[in-house]
Each structure stands twice: as C-alpha cells, then as structure tokens.
Amino acid sequence: MTWIDLRSDTVTHPTPAMRDAMRDAEVGDDVYGDDPSVKALEDAAAGKLGKEAALFVPSGNFGNQLALLTHCDRGDEVILGDDCHIVWHETGGAALIAGVQLRTIESDKGVMPIDAIRRRIRVGEDIHWPKTGLISLENAHSNGRVIPLSAMAETAALAREHHIPVHLDGARVFNAATHLRCDVREITQHADTVMFCLSKGLAAPVGSIIAGSADFVRRARRNRKLMGGGLRQAGVLAAPGLIALNEMSQRLAEDHDRAQSLAEGLAALPGVSVQREDVHINLVWFRLPENTDGAALAAYLLERGIKANPPEDGLMRFATHWQVDGEAVERTLAAMRAFLAG
C-alpha cells in the first residue's frame, strides 16, 4: 500500500537529491564555526531573507523561543495574537525559557488590529509595569491564511515608533510569498528577525533558520548553545536544507493547487463545511457533518492507507506537500465520500 499522509507538512520525507546531498556533505564542527555546509546554508538564507546573518537551529519551536530569549529581558512582555503558534503549540516555553509574559490580542484570522497593539504597548517608565520587549507576527498563519503586507507594514511602523523589535514566525513564509506572488523579502522587510522552517513544505529532514542583524545572530548563537542546540557535524542536515531553500521553495504552488482541489472536493460532500476563504497555502480546514465520529473517520482512513489527524474543537485539517499528488487527492476524496455515505 502506498501511504498518503495528510497530518502535516512536517511528515515530508527528504527527496532523493537531499539524500545524496546528505551522503556527500562536507562537514566540520559547527560549534567551532567550521562546518562549511552550515555556513553555506546560513549565508544563502540570510541573502534570501534580506538579513545580515542567519543561524541554523534544530526546529521552528526552538527558533521562536531562541528569538524571544535573545530579544527580551526576563519579565518583559511580548505582544502577539492569541491564536498564534507561540501561544498554542510551543508548550509554554516563553515562560520557562525566556521568562517573559505573553500579552495576547484577539486577532481577526491572524491579523492583529493596529489599535489593539497600540493600546498594549507600555509607554513610559512606570515602576509597576513590565517593559514591552517584542511584537511577534506570524505569516503564513497556522490557520492557513496569509497576512496582508499592509498589516505587517503598519505594525512594523508602530513598533519602530516605540523602538520595539518585531519577530516574524515565518514557519511557512515561502508559502506566504508564493500566495502573494512576491519575493520573500517583501514580507521579511517588516520584521527585525525571522524564523522559517526547512522541515515543513520545503521537505528537509530537520531544521529551521533564524535570521536578523549580525549582532542579533551573534547573541543568538550563544543562546543556542545555552538551550542545548550547539551542533557538531551538522553539514549532513544543512546540505538538504540548501536544496529545500533553493529548489523546494520554488515548487510550493503545486501544493497550494492540490489544497484547492481538496477543498473543492470536500465542499461538494454532503454536510461538510470547508473554510474555502482560508485556503491560501497548503492547509485545508473543514467541519464534518454534525454527530460525525471524528475518531472513527481517522481510523477508517488509516485502514485505507491515509493518515489524518482527527478533528480538534470540531475542525479537521488536511495538509498537502510534495508527496501528495493528484491521485492522492482523488483517493482521499473517494474515502471521505464512502465514509460519509455510511
């Protein structure tokens, strides 16, 4: 049986070219700064993002928490959306690692109203207040939407006015650029630091990048070691990362097209409600008919070689990636149709 895995784009296997690159990678000890493959990846990533420097880190979660730790003093506040990845899916690391508190804003599908951000910035030196240490944005958002550049620009301008840095959780920032049909630097210009994942839709087996000023990356490199992320012969991971960055980032429109096909097919099924307006990238969110047993559906799909996570809070998600082709989409829709037909 050929498996179809729709749980996430984190499940992607490295391509054959990546496996060859891993085998042949030139390596050194990255803690000493002499792994040539890592240095090549970091230089290429910084250039792509329009930043002075970049740092290879083990994961996106690690990269976001490293950014908070490097930007902020303990006790600072970080302003961010209440539905973002840092709040929901990073195990409370902000409190444990950076020692910061998260001041959340109810977002409009990932967009934080500028007036709401303005009201939460601590202005002045009141001894009772924490300091606003950082504003964090997410684009593409984990809800599947791409945040408009105008909203990012407005937030960046407000942050500069108050001398507050902006961090971008850009786990899928190349998906966002694909959707907007723009150079990724048109997005990243609105943030002081950026994290993006090599290991999601870009299909590298491990790793993420955090980028910013040379001074920020110098401080982050020390904090990476503190957090246990000092890497040794990491060139075997950086080599496929270069392929992810330079080649796989150019084919993401295929994943988006497959997501649209899935959304269209699901919407045609009786009782299924698809959030069609939110399918900007490779993520499809939908609700099943009332009283549908989500766990039973996941088990039914698994028996037919389709891996999917059961619904969470009533919503189910399918993710496309380079290993989900047109046949996989049709097979999935057929299985969904059969299950719902009883």
Average pLDDT per 10 consecutive residues for the chain, totaling 342 residues: 95 98 98 97 98 98 98 98 97 98 97 98 96 98 97 98 98 98 98 98 98 98 98 97 98 98 98 96 97 96 98 93 98 98 90
CB 166 within 8 A of CB 192: yes
Cis peptide before 263 (omega within 30 of 0): no
Q: What separation, in Å, do the N-terminal and C-terminal C-alpha atoms of the chain show?
A: 23
The tokens for 304 are: 């037919």
Q: Are 267 and 134 in contact (CB under 8 A)?
A: no
What residue ranges in 120-188 does DSSP mark as E strands? 132-138, 166-169
Residue whose structure tokens are 């002045």: 124
Contact by Cβ (8 Å): 10, 199? yes
**pTM (whole model) above 0.75:** yes
Packed helices 214-226 and 60-71: angle between N→C axes, nearest 10 degrees: 110
Written as six digits, the tokens of 317 are 């998600």
Which domains, from first to last, does the chain contain?
Answer: 4-9+251-341 (3.90.1150.10), 16-249 (3.40.640.10)
DSSP label at residue 148: P
Query: For residue 176, what pLDDT is reported?
Result: 98
3-state secondary structure 269-283: CCCCEECHHHCCCCE
Distance, C-alpha 26 to centroid of its chain: 28
Could you tell me if 211 and 184 are in contact, meaning their C-beta atoms sit under 8 angstroms apart?
Answer: no
Q: Which residue carries 């392929």 as its tokens?
A: 243
Tell me the CA distances in angstroms from 52 to 25, 135, 184, 278, one per residue in order: 25, 20, 15, 33
User: Angle at which helices 235-246 and 16-24 pack, to 10 degrees?
Assistant: 140
CA angle 142, 110, 75 (to 5 degrees): 90
Report the run of H or E that residue 103 belongs to, with start and end.
strand 101-105
- According to DSSP, residue 12 is labeled P
Rg (CA), the chain: 21
Q: How many C-beta atoms lie closer than 10 Å to residue 34's C-beta?
A: 11
Nearest of 187, 124, 105, 195 to residue 153 by alpha carbon: 187
Which residue is it, tokens 């270069």? 242
Please choose, from the candidates 286, 297, 299, the residue with its C-alpha nearest in 3D space to the C-alpha of residue 336: 297
Please state, in angstroms and as integers, the Cα–Cα distance from residue 202 to each residue in 83, 173, 207, following that order: 24, 11, 11
What's the confidence (pLDDT) of residue 186?
98
- The per-residue pLDDT for 342 is 86
Judge contact between 84 and 229, C-beta under 8 A.
Answer: no
List the beta bridge partners of residue 196: 209
What pLDDT shows up at residue 314?
84
Phi, psi of 24 (to 5 degrees): -95, 5
Q: φ, ψ for residue 79 (rounded to 5)?
A: -90, 130
Q: Name beta bridge partners: 306.
A: 4
Partnered with residue 4 across adjacent β-strands are 306
